[in-house]
């Protein structure tokens, strides 16, 4: 399966944002802690969600599908051994360890997978689990965790970790006593997860700040929750306009979650108007914009997942700008593909590159290495002259729902072949 894109394109019209992938996956894990079914609305129809559903179904969880929603009954879960055939495809399944350890006091995890974007050590999980009294034995190709001594704890993350914060949050919710997570991640998906858990009976304060306090409860009721808008998708659509030029209304989004990228766009010369109450962003860009450097940082900074799309936008801007990727050392290893298309980018080291523009990109054959680089290549193809093909579109499908249909609606000439 591949995408075929004919460029260049001028973007116009409106596009709606899907539910957040990174929240949907954690809500599926959280549902296993509840003593009654949980309904998740605005669930994105993407491959990563499909894989997570497959994984929980294989351990006995009952999942009912409706249009745009999932009903999840974690009470039918029958085993804490995660399936070795599926886990390597989805690193986010690490969060399932928390509810499984709470329910079964043991869990087995094959080596996890996900995007190949550099070292994403499991050490943070092991140290956090150790603080909560969980022990681990390393087997051939798997970890086995034991939670017979599970207890409340105070844990300070040495490095901010989103998935680590979410996992310890889920672990502490039904662990007796008061737990404190310090140097916690503050991404919007975390307070959204905490708000859902609190609605089910949890006692969590401070989510969205560096210090989260959790008082364990005996049980959680079921309930319903709606996924927040996907801020990475929102930012990618904004970067698409910056790269191609045009006028786009981005609907059903949360402008406050992408405040820093929007500020960058405005400083590049785009016209940006955001209405938080209406959940709408209007972006207008007349090429060429001018180059502005940026660096990634944990929220509320510039999201690492938005670095690739905005690097593409810089290839079409006038001037020279430094891109500093501070989170993952492998996230710049897609730029050779942009250079192949005609971009003038110098890789300084695994964390920094210099982009000089504007450069006329030309269509070529490409392969998507991961979700975020994949959408960046798609944006590059949309502003390039001629036809591009992108192989391995599964990587894009992991995080973007029906992307070709939605982009066709705003002027991109794209086909799935």
N residues, the chain: 417
Question: Which one-letter DSSP state was computed for residue 229?
Answer: B
Q: Would you list the DSSP string of 107-162?
A: EEEEPP----SS---THHHHHHHHHTT-EEEEETTEEEEE-TT----EEE-SS--H
- Matching residue, tokens 């989510």: 207
C-alpha closest to that of 152 among 240, 83, 217: 217
Distance CA 384, CA 230 (A): 26
Q: Which of 77, 93, 115, 383 is catalytic?
A: 115
**DSSP characters over 154-218:** EEE-SS--HHHHHHHHHHHHTSSSEEEEES----THHHHHHHHHHHTT-EEE-BTBSEEEEE--S
**Is 93 one of the annotated active-site residues of the chain?**
no
Check: CB of residue 40 under 8 Å from CB of residue 72: yes
H or E segment to which residue 55 belongs: helix 47-58
SS3 394: helix
Q: Which residues are catalytic?
A: 115
């Amino acid at each position: 399966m591949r995408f075929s894109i004919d460029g260049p394109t001028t973007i116009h019209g409106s596009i709606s944002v899907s539910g957040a992938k990174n929240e949907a996956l954690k809500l599926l894990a959280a549902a296993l802690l509840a003593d009654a079914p949980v309904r998740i609305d605005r669930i994105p129809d993407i491959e990563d969600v499909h894989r997570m559903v497959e994984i929980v179904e294989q351990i006995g969880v009952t999942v009912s599908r409706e249009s745009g929603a999932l009903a999840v009954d974690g009470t039918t879960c029958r085993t804490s051994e995660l399936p070795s055939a599926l886990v390597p495809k989805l690193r986010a399944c690490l969060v399932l360890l928390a509810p499984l350890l709470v329910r079964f006091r043991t869990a087995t995890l094959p080596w996890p997978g996900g995007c190949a974007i550099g070292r994403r050590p499991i050490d943070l999980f092991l140290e956090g689990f150790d603080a909560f009294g969980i022990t681990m034995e390393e087997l051939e190709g798997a970890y086995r965790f034991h939670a017979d001594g599970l207890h409340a704890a105070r844990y300070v993350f040495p490095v901010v970790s989103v998935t680590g914060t979410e996992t310890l949050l889920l672990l502490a919710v039904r662990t007796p006593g008061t737990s404190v997570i310090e140097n916690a991640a503050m991404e919007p998906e975390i307070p959204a997860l905490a708000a859902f858990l609190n609605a089910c009976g949890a006692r969590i304060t401070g989510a969205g700040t560096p210090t989260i306090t959790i008082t364990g409860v005996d049980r959680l009721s079921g309930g319903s929750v709606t996924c927040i808008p996907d801020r990475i998708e929102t930012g990618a659509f904004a970067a698409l306009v910056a790269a191609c030029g045009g006028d786009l209304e981005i609907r059903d989004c949360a402008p406050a979650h992408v405040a820093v990228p929007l500020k960058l766009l405005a400083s590049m010369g785009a016209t940006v108007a955001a209405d938080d109450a209406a959940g709408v962003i209007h972006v207008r860009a007349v090429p060429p914009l001018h180059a502005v450097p940026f660096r990634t940082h944990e929220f509320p900074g510039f999201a690492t997942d938005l670095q690739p799309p905005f690097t593409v936008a810089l290839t079409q801007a006038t001037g020279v700008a430094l891109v500093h990727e501070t989170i993952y050392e492998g996230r710049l290893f897609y730029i050779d593909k942009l250079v192949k298309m005609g971009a003038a980018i110098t890789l300084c080291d695994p964390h920094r590159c210099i982009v000089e523009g504007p450069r006329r990109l030309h269509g070529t054959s490409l392969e998507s290495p991961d979700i975020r680089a994949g959408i960046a290549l798609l944006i590059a193809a949309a502003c390039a002259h001629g036809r591009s093909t992108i192989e391995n579109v599964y990587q894009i499908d992991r995080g973007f729902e029906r992307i070709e249909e939605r982009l066709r609606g705003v002027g991109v000439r794209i086909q799935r072949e």
